[in-house]
Amino acid sequence: MSAGQTATPTGRAAFESAAEQAVMRIGAAHLRTLADRIAAAAPEQEIRHAVAVPGFAEAADTLLAAQRANGVPDVEAAAYLRGLAAGHAQQAAALRVESVWSGPSTHQVPVRATAQVLVELVAEASRELLLMTYSAKPYQPLLDALAAAVARRVAVAVVVETLAGAGSALAGAEPAAAFASVPGIELWHWPPAERAEEGAKMHAKIAVADRRALLVSSANLTQSGVAKNIEAGLLVRGGTAPQRAAEHIDELKAKQVLVRLRPGA
């Protein structure tokens, strides 16, 4: 944008909305890099590829389009992005961790229940939700929350183990079948052919909402796992752990360690 342009209040609001989406997608550090390239009036191709991480080019495209469409000068755009990045970095530094349990409760030591935390985490997601589980059985409160998330256009991805991958350790229906009643969910798996060691399992149990909150638990996505068994986990808000968990899964997908699971596969 030329230095003489001035954005309208409506234009600034549209650009600010795009900037907020960008920082949630790529994080504060990468947003600062984007701001530096814009301040230096770098070519758009250079800006798009300034950081080689999944999603950066797409976030840059959306932000630059909003900047162009709304006449936001480079110097103003860069200053806003730097301030936004600083604010999010400070917010991310406010790390909160709490324990989460399934099974019997005690009045003497109040703790959060896995089922409650999991459904709340799904309900608060506004853009992106990632779940990983070894075993899965239909658990209606979770399915209802997932259906509501899909309806509000949250991108929902679930990584599951398969019967082929588990060998004799799992029986019955495929874990992916637990989510069949919710159209719009992306299902992923770790193909046995990609496993360097025989007998390796997709055993992770996590949930990540908007790269801001991370639940790591021993609980599978079954009623027994989230409500009946004694299972333990940690809910992490802030810090870098939620973002890094999502980025790690992004990389596993990009390298085709994790691949889309076809219906009926």
The whole-number mean pLDDT for each consecutive block of 10 residues of the chain, a chain of 265 residues, reads 52 85 84 94 93 84 92 93 89 81 79 89 94 96 95 95 92 94 96 91 96 95 92 91 92 94 67
Residue ending a domain, among 93, 115, 132, is: 93
Do residues 248 and 184 share a domain? yes
Do residues 119 and 244 share a domain? yes
Do residues 131 and 79 share a domain? no
Do residues 64 and 187 share a domain? no
Residue among 95, 144, 151 at smallest CA distance from 126: 151
Instruction: Supply the pLDDT for residue 10.
Output: 64
Do residues 110 and 233 share a domain? yes
Cβ distance 32 to 85 under 8 Å? yes
Domain membership of residue 4 (yes or no) is no
Domain containing 14: what range? 9-93
Do residues 198 and 128 share a domain? yes
Domain membership of residue 1 (yes or no) is no
* Alpha-carbon gap, residue 258 to 199, rounded angstroms: 17
Do residues 131 and 66 share a domain? no
Do residues 19 and 145 share a domain? no
Do residues 168 and 56 share a domain? no
Domain membership of residue 228 (yes or no) is yes
Write b or e for each residue in 93-117: b if 16 or more Cβ atoms lie within 10 A of its Cβ, otherwise e.
eeeeeeebbbeeeeeeeeeeebbeb
Instruction: Supply the pLDDT for residue 7.
Output: 53
Do residues 207 and 80 share a domain? no
Instruction: Supply the pLDDT for residue 112.
Output: 83
Domain membership of residue 102 (yes or no) is yes
Residue ending a domain, among 93, 128, 150, is: 93
Given the structure tokens 């709340």, which residue do they identify?
120
Domain membership of residue 164 (yes or no) is yes
Do residues 114 and 206 share a domain? yes
* Alpha-carbon gap, residue 186 to 188, rounded angstroms: 7
Do residues 70 and 173 share a domain? no
Tokens representing 222 are 């079954």
Total of domains in the chain: 2
Where residue 240 sits, what CATH number does that domain have? 3.30.870.10
pTM for the model stands at 0.67
